Amino acid sequence: MEKSESAVAKLAQAAQATDNTENDESELPKVFDRTHLDDPRFEDYSKLLKPRPGADFSRVFPPKICSWAPCGTYPSPFKSNPERFNLGLSFVSDEETVLVDIIGHVTQPTASREFLRAGPREFISFHPKSVKAAIVTCGGLCPGINSVVREIYNTLHHLYGVEEIYGIPFGYRGFYSPDLEYIRLTDHNVSSIHHQGGSYLGSSRGGFDLKKIVDAIEDNNFNQVYIIGGDGTQRGALKIHDEVVRRKLKVSVVGIPKTIDNDIALIDKSFGFDTAVEEAQRAIRSAVVESKSAQNGIGLVKLMGRSSGYIAMYATLASHDVDICLIPEVSFILEGSCGLLEYIRSLLKRKGHCVIVVAEGAGMDLLKDEVDMSKRDASGNIKMPDIGLFLKDRIIAWFTEQVRMEITLKYIDPTYMIRSIPANASDCLMCGLLAQSAVHSAMAGRGGFTIGVINTQYSIIPMHELSSRGRIKVDVNSRMWHRVLATTEQPDFRA
Ligand SMILES: Nc1ncnc2c1ncn2[C@@H]1O[C@H](COP(=O)(O)OP(=O)(O)O)[C@@H](O)[C@H]1O
Ligand SMILES: O=P(O)(O)OC[C@H]1O[C@](O)(COP(=O)(O)O)[C@@H](O)[C@@H]1O
Ligand SMILES: [Mg+2]
């Protein structure tokens, strides 16, 4: 079959012939007429499924837009053109779910929350020519943001045939700031952004104004809004979704979790985290070299992690060279026989050198007098004093003034270097799949959801499921933290 005769082309012709507006969807080929909101088929599919025998499963599916705004139903372009779109061979149905809790116990009944599995659907709720998409990136940088933006564009444009895709500049404020212009995304301007670190669209903290943002969405006729950001951003995305539902707008609000800190609940890992941990190895290796090359050498590396120590923990485990790992979740004391300083002295005596990794949020109780709760960034995050510099000064002072021992301490702070680089291969892969999953789910008419990887499966998570859980922290009773203690052999620095 000639490409011009493909189903996509036919859909496109039909759409153009009807002036591309939502109201003209009635002119487009439809599989069934699902525009009546009282149609029982609009019900959340999860309610129609029978419970699994002998199991306590809790299905949590995101809403379908057709439950608050009229939608059509169209065949996926992959369905009617299998020779071009192999994806049509692997449709995912709304009966496929992903279990959150997969570790069982022989004496316990199986029970788990259960989310919808992401993937292309056989039928879609947006005619591709009626889609006007917006993509926004908020919060701190993270490797892979550009890969996500580019793949959302590519999936919308090249797989579904969507023409109008815009980037919102500099985070939430970009929706409404008069001095900022939306960026029309094209093959040309996104072609190589995945090779660059940072955000091609720009990002920012603060600037969340619900009314102005949803007014902008409504005034500009955006009907798919992809929001890439961390916990704060996702909380904002849920508010936008709720307001969209309140106004009964046919808009799919989609979250893609982003944070370098990997502290988002439920999901296996956030994109960019692997890359950051890998880049942190370079700093740790430098610290090892410096410390080993000096008499009584100490290498001190500060890594990101304002409220959680995942980067420090994984970087420590990956390096196998770290003697002490300090994270926000575990308090420590400096002085005394159980203190950090005495332990450093014992390491120098035993090994001649030592390497310390400290997460930026560690030891805040030691710095509590310096924490000024009124000093916050635009998103309300507390500006914290520098634990790395504090430790450096205290260690040098203690050895010089109290122990009277000559040491060489090299302090390495790669903070922004680990997040400003492009994503590594495994993160690039994840970014691509997250973006594709996000687009497939939005095209299928879901709204108010976040895409995440759960037990290696790409899943559609209702936004409130993430927002209600907030940021997670390292569990100091977990096997992972116990592995850190086993690898470093560090003691408990608590009195
Ligand atoms: N509770 C919230 N409700 C609405 N918007 C929020 C909330 N918290 C943060 N935001 C907005 O989300 C964006 C990013 O938040 P921030 O905390 O800086 O980064 P991250 O999303 O990575 O956690 C900012 O524009 C901020 O104004
Ligand atoms: O200096 P900035 O840009 O505020 O970013 C620093 C902070 O951002 C973080 O990386 C987390 O923020 P995000 O969740 O936005 O990625 C922290 O670990 C770090 O303290
Ligand atoms: Mg945050």
pLDDT exceeds cutoff 70 at 2: no
Does 462 fall in a domain?
A: yes
Which residue among 253, 379, 469 has the greatest number of ligand 1 atoms within 8 angstroms of its CB, and so is best to mutate? 379
Residue 304 C-alpha to ligand 3 middle, in angstroms?
A: 12
The confidence band for 31, taking pLDDT boundaries of 50, 70 and 90, is very low
Chain segment 188-242, per-residue pLDDT in tens: 999 999 999 999 999 999 999 999 999 999 999 999 999 999 999 999 999 999 9
Residue 140 C-alpha to ligand 2 middle, in angstroms?
A: 5
Q: Please say whether the beta carbons of 232 and 419 come within 8 A.
A: no
Q: Please say whether the beta carbons of 274 and 426 come within 8 A.
A: yes
Does 298 fall in a domain?
A: yes
**Which residue did the predictor score with more confidence, 86 or 131?**
131
Helices 387-397 & 340-351, crossing angle to 10 degrees? 70
Model pLDDT, residue 483: 97
In this structure, the residue with its CA closest to atom 1 of ligand 2 is: 140
Nearest atom in ligand 2 to 139's CA: 15
For the CA of 230, the nearest ligand: 1
The confidence band for 32, taking pLDDT boundaries of 50, 70 and 90, is very low
127 and 205 both lie in a single domain: yes
For the CA of 378, the nearest ligand: 1
Share of the chain above pLDDT 90, in %: 77
220 and 345 both lie in a single domain: no
Q: For the residues 373-377, what does the mean pLDDT come to?
A: 84
- CATH, residue 366: 3.40.50.460
pTM: 0.89
Nearest atom in ligand 1 to 173's CA: 25
The confidence band for 33, taking pLDDT boundaries of 50, 70 and 90, is very low
Q: For the residues 332-342, what does the mean pLDDT come to?
A: 96
Chain segment 72-98, per-residue pLDDT in tens: 999 999 887 777 778 777 899 999 999
Q: Please say whether the beta carbons of 411 and 298 come within 8 A.
A: no
432 and 331 both lie in a single domain: no
Does 476 fall in a domain?
A: no
Residue 444 C-alpha to ligand 1 middle, in angstroms?
A: 27
252 and 284 both lie in a single domain: no
81 and 201 both lie in a single domain: yes
Does 72 fall in a domain?
A: yes
Q: Which amino acid, one-letter code, is at 249?
A: L
Q: Is the CB of 141 under 6 A from ligand 2?
A: no
Q: Write down which residue in 362, 391, 421 finishes a domain.
A: 421
Residue 309 C-alpha to ligand 3 middle, in angstroms?
A: 14
134 and 266 both lie in a single domain: yes
Model pLDDT, residue 47: 52
Residues with CB under 6 Å of ligand 1 are 138-140, 171-172, 205-208, 229-233, 235-236, 239, 259, 379, 381
pLDDT exceeds cutoff 80 at 54: no
Catalytic residue chosen out of the listed positions 94, 261, 323, 427: 261
Residue 83 lies in domain:
65-270+423-467
Does 30 fall in a domain?
A: no
Q: Which amino acid, one-letter code, is at 411?
A: Y
43-47, 156-160, 219-223: the lowest-pLDDT one = 43-47
The confidence band for 301, taking pLDDT boundaries of 50, 70 and 90, is very high
Six-digit token pair at 390? 């504090």
Residue 234 C-alpha to ligand 1 middle, in angstroms?
A: 7
Q: Is the CB of 259 under 6 A from ligand 2?
A: yes
72 and 220 both lie in a single domain: yes
pLDDT exceeds cutoff 80 at 49: no
177 and 304 both lie in a single domain: no
Burial classification of residue 89, based on how many CB atoms lie within 10 Å of its CB (0-12 exposed, 13-18 middle, 19 or more buried): exposed
410 and 440 both lie in a single domain: no
Q: For the residues 250-268, what does the mean pLDDT come to?
A: 96
Which residue among 145, 148, 199, 205 has the greatest number of ligand 1 atoms within 8 angstroms of its CB, and so is best to mutate? 205
**Which residue did the predictor score with more confidence, 36 or 175?**
175
285 and 237 both lie in a single domain: no
Q: Write down which residue in 394, 421, 448 finishes a domain.
A: 421
pLDDT exceeds cutoff 60 at 27: no
203 and 284 both lie in a single domain: no
Does 23 fall in a domain?
A: no
| Average confidence score pLDDT of the chain | 89
Q: Please say whether the beta carbons of 439 and 430 come within 8 A.
A: no
| Number of domains, the chain | 2
Neighbour count for residue 107 (Cβ, 10 Å): 5
How far is 179 from 378, CA to CA, in rounded Å? 19
Model pLDDT, residue 89: 78
**Which residue did the predictor score with more confidence, 153 or 469?**
153
Six-digit token pair at 143? 């490797």
Nearest atom in ligand 1 to 231's CA: 23
Q: For the residues 52-65, what does the mean pLDDT come to?
A: 72
Q: Is the CB of 113 under 6 A from ligand 2?
A: no
In this structure, the residue with its CA closest to atom 14 of ligand 2 is: 259
5-9, 403-407, 427-431: the lowest-pLDDT one = 5-9
| ipTM attached to this prediction | 0.98
How far is 362 from 305, CA to CA, in rounded Å? 8
Residue 170 C-alpha to ligand 2 middle, in angstroms?
A: 16
Neighbour count for residue 369 (Cβ, 10 Å): 7
How far is 9 from 255, CA to CA, in rounded Å? 30
Q: Is the CB of 73 under 6 A from ligand 2?
A: no
Specify whether 261 is catalytic. yes
Q: Write down which residue in 359, 387, 421 finishes a domain.
A: 421
Does 432 fall in a domain?
A: yes
Chain segment 103-128, per-residue pLDDT in tens: 888 887 777 889 999 999 999 999 99
Which residue among 201, 225, 231, 233 has the greatest number of ligand 1 atoms within 8 angstroms of its CB, and so is best to mutate? 233
Chain segment 425-461, per-residue pLDDT in tens: 999 999 999 999 999 999 999 999 999 999 999 999 9
416 and 429 both lie in a single domain: no
For the CA of 206, the nearest ligand: 1
Burial classification of residue 374, based on how many CB atoms lie within 10 Å of its CB (0-12 exposed, 13-18 middle, 19 or more buried): exposed
Side-chain half-sphere of 218: how many Cα atoms within 13 Å? 15
Q: For the residues 144-172, what does the mean pLDDT come to?
A: 97
pLDDT exceeds cutoff 90 at 145: yes
Model pLDDT, residue 8: 45
Does 156 fall in a domain?
A: yes
Model pLDDT, residue 198: 97
Nearest atom in ligand 2 to 360's CA: 20
Q: Is the CB of 190 under 6 A from ligand 2?
A: no
pLDDT exceeds cutoff 90 at 348: yes
How far is 478 from 474, CA to CA, in rounded Å? 8
- Residues with Cβ–ion distance below 5 A, ligand 3: 230-232
pLDDT exceeds cutoff 60 at 271: yes
For the CA of 144, the nearest ligand: 2
How far is 190 from 204, CA to CA, in rounded Å? 20
Which residue among 204, 208, 209, 213 has the greatest number of ligand 1 atoms within 8 angstroms of its CB, and so is best to mutate? 208
Q: For the residues 171-190, what does the mean pLDDT come to?
A: 98
